[in-house]
Amino acid sequence: MNVPLWLWVTTVLVIVSLICVDFVIVARNPRKPSTREAALWVSFYALLAVAFGAALAFTAGAEHSIAFYTGWVVEYSLSIDNLFILILIIGSFQVPPEHQQRVLLIGIGLALFFRALFIVAGAAAVEAYVGVFYLFGAILLVTAIKLLVSADHDVAHAEYRENALVRTVRRVLPTTDRYHGARLTVLLGGRRHLTPMLLVIIAIGMADIVFALDSIPAIFGITQEPYLVFTANAFALMGLRQLYFLIGSLLTRLVYLNKGLALILCYIGVTLILHAIEHTTDLPVSSPPELVSLGVVVSLLLLVTVASLVASRNHRQRESVSGSEAR
């Protein structure tokens, strides 16, 4: 896929402009969005991604369009899982409601920046030696195993553990436990103190790096085209702020999300290893085509969603019966 420089520049400018517009909207009206408003914005960004994929089909061919859609769906599902961590971080730092959107937008900007760095590094590594897919595949398989053995999401009882960088900053530099609007630092008693706003941004930035370590190998298992890798990640991140307010309270109902993502990452990990074997050995193996991968990913996500909702409904019914019997 030969992408001219002008198209790269235009794409980046459009994506950055959309994020800036989002930031301006939040700055002027920092209130928590309504469910209807959040749903409209999420739908808008989803339709934008669908339109982009359709444009790819006409200009670059169906193969690249399918690869984009598959990558976008995978990255979007990973972003939903990442929302659980963001909820824990924002809750742990007790970010005031009027500042949560600003924190989320900064987190999205950092995520896009870190992923762009990882994409450049990943593309260079793939160009230098195709055997790097063995490493990418191993990373995804290890992540899949961790997800399979991890506990199901429980926002109500889970706790966020501060990473080493945040703990070090607290220990070395003067900090305050009080928020002072959206300020990152404040002068108290003649000394400059860091506010919780800066600490929560650091925490989310570190989480973004960890997220990128999983998401970038996953997308390279679907396509090795840097342009498709970048745009799939960008479209998956856009609308994440609104998605946080739309489904944040519903994450506890997606009880099998971890298991579904584990199966998806396992599939992509095996695909990466097969791709590496195909290009580094004479063994008669090949990775599955993009259309098959899209079907597998979408089918697993639908299965996980339906199974989760059914399990959650049955659990609520059992609790209702138990409560009635207790009375």
**φ, ψ of residue 175 in degrees (nearest 5):** -130, 160
Q: Flag whether pLDDT at 169 surpasses 60.
A: yes
pLDDT the model gives residue 152: 54
pLDDT of residue 155: 44
More confident of the two residues 248 and 284:
284
Read off the pLDDT of residues 286-307 as tens digits, 9 standing for 90 and up: 888 888 888 998 898 889 888 8
What band does 122 get if pLDDT is binned at 50, 70 and 90?
A: confident
The answer to whether residue 221 sits within a structural domain is: yes
Percentage of the chain modeled with pLDDT above 90: 17
Average pLDDT over residues 15-38: 79
CA proximity to 211, closest of 50, 76, 13: 76
Domain that holds residue 167: 10-312
**Span 306-316, mean pLDDT?**
81
pLDDT tens figures, 201-235: 888 888 888 888 878 888 888 888 999 999 999 99
In degrees and rounded to multiples of 5, residue 191 shows phi and psi of -120, 145
pTM equals 0.81
Q: Rounded mean pLDDT of 100-116?
A: 85
Q: Which residues have C-beta within 8 Å of that of residue 237, sequence separation ≥ 6?
A: 75, 79, 108, 111, 112, 115
Q: Across-strand partners of 187?
A: 192
Residue 68 confidence (pLDDT): 94
- Tens-digit pLDDT profile for residues 32-71: 777 788 888 889 999 999 999 999 999 989 999 999 999 9
How many whole angstroms separate alpha carbon 133 and alpha carbon 149? Answer: 24
Model confidence over 231-279: pLDDT tens digits? 999 998 887 878 877 776 566 677 788 888 889 889 998 998 998 898 8
Task: Compute the 3-state secondary structure of the chain and give helix, strand, coil in percent, each to the nearest 5.
Answer: 75, 5, 20
Bin 293: left if φ > 0, else alpha if -120 < ψ < 50, else beta: alpha
Residue 320 forms part of a structural domain: no
Answer yes or no: are the C-beta atoms of 258 and 152 closer than 8 Å. yes
Q: Is residue 319 part of a domain?
A: no
Give the residue-averaged pLDDT of 141-149: 85
pLDDT at residue 239, as a whole number = 78
Task: Evaluate whether residue 250 is within a structural domain.
Answer: yes
**pLDDT recorded at residue 322:** 64
Q: Give me the number of domains the chain comprises.
A: 1
Task: Take residue 61 and report the two structure tokens written for it.
Answer: 């061919």
Q: Is residue 323 one of the residues assigned to a domain?
A: no
Residue 157 pLDDT > 70: no
| Strand ranges in the chain using DSSP code E only, listed in sequence order | 185-188, 191-194
pLDDT at 156 over 50: no
In a domain, 124, yes or no: yes
pLDDT of residue 235: 92
Residue 3 belongs to some domain of the structure: no
Average pLDDT of the residues in 101-111:
84
pLDDT of 184 reads 86
Which residues face 188 on adjacent strands? Answer: 191
Q: Is the pLDDT of residue 317 over 80?
A: no
Exposed/middle/buried for residue 283 (C-beta within 10 Å: 0-12, 13-18, 19+): exposed
- The predicted pLDDT at position 232 comes to 93
Both structure tokens of 299:
């089918």
Domain annotation covers residue 322: no
Residues 37, 41, 46: CA angle, nearest 5 degrees: 145
